[in-house]
Amino acid sequence: MTAPADPLEAAHAAYTPLSLRLYDAVVMGVSNPLLWKCPTARLRAHFDRHVSGNHLDIGVGTGYFLDHARFPVRAPRIVLMDLSTAALAHAARRLARYRPETVIGNVLAPLPVPGRRFDSASLNYVLHCLPGPFAAKLSAFDHIRPLLNPGAVLFGSTLLQGDAPRNAAARSLMAWYNRKGIFSNAGDDFATLQAALRQRFRQVALERVGCAALFAVRN
């Protein structure tokens, strides 16, 4: 696969109907526990701890976490936001029982406000796919904040390099993803993420599990 000329296009071009059918088995079943050393069960627990009944999911992937989520209400409001129409369609079908709304949005630019604001928003495995220097990519938080109600939680995860522990297989695969433009995280490190979150939010919970950073922040 040749990376598209537009770095942002490359970040979501990998989400094809075929790759989306394989994604859960490869990423949730193999990459998370064996390469990134962040078990999918740990990510699911993080998601369940913070998701609300009025939720915005940004960078939807396959809809895996929402499909398995334990919502605090029986009929949650769910809005799916992504640049990939293939990912949006796939996740919307998977979550059809919740009748989710889909919105095309780019977190590197101001985002549309789809009706009323949210009590929670998730940004799972998105930052490491965005192009550009890490500090510039973290402007995504500035674009999400206006969509949140007072006291709402913004949570998620991202894969780091820097001093994050990675075995040889993880380093090799991550380097290949970066060459193809699927990842763009060569300069992504824990300290920069921590500083950016503390600068923007009043409450910050941040931890590293393997080479993944898990965060939950509130204004």
Confidence of residue 46 (pLDDT cuts 50, 70, 90): very high
Of 149, 163, 83, the closest CA to residue 120 belongs to 149
Please determine, for residue 166, whether its predicted confidence score (pLDDT) is greater than 90: yes
- The pLDDT value given to residue 152: 98
pLDDT at position 50: 98
Per-residue confidence (pLDDT) for residue 12, from 0 to 100: 65
CB burial of residue 208 (10 Å; 0-12, 13-18, 19+): middle
Q: Which helix (H) or strand (E) holds 137?
A: helix 134-137
Residue 2 has pLDDT above 50, yes or no: no
pTM exceeds 0.85 for this model: yes
pLDDT 10s digits, 101-133: 999 999 999 998 878 999 999 999 999 999 999
The domain spans of the chain are 7-218
The yes-or-no verdict on residue 3 having pLDDT over 90 is no
| pLDDT score of 15 | 82
What is the secondary structure of 60-111 as a DSSP string? -TTSHHHHH---SSSS-EEEEEES-HHHHHHHHHHTGGG--EEEE--TTSPP
* pLDDT recorded at residue 121: 98
CATH of 7-218, one of 3.30.450.40, 3.30.300.20, 3.40.50.150, 3.30.479.10: 3.40.50.150
pLDDT for 1 equals: 36
pLDDT at 6: 65
Give the H/E segment covering residue 176.
helix 168-180
User: Per residue in 62-112, pLDDT tens?
Assistant: 999 999 999 999 999 999 999 999 999 999 999 999 999 999 999 999 998
Q: Phi-psi category of 58—alpha, beta or left, where left has phi over 0 and alpha has psi -120 to 50?
A: beta
177-216 residue pLDDT tens? 999 999 999 999 999 999 999 999 999 999 999 999 999 9
Instruction: Kindly provide the b/e burial profile for residues 91-128, where b requires at least 16 CB atoms within 10 angstroms of the residue's own CB.
Output: bbebbeebebebbebebbeebeebeeebbbbbbbbbbb
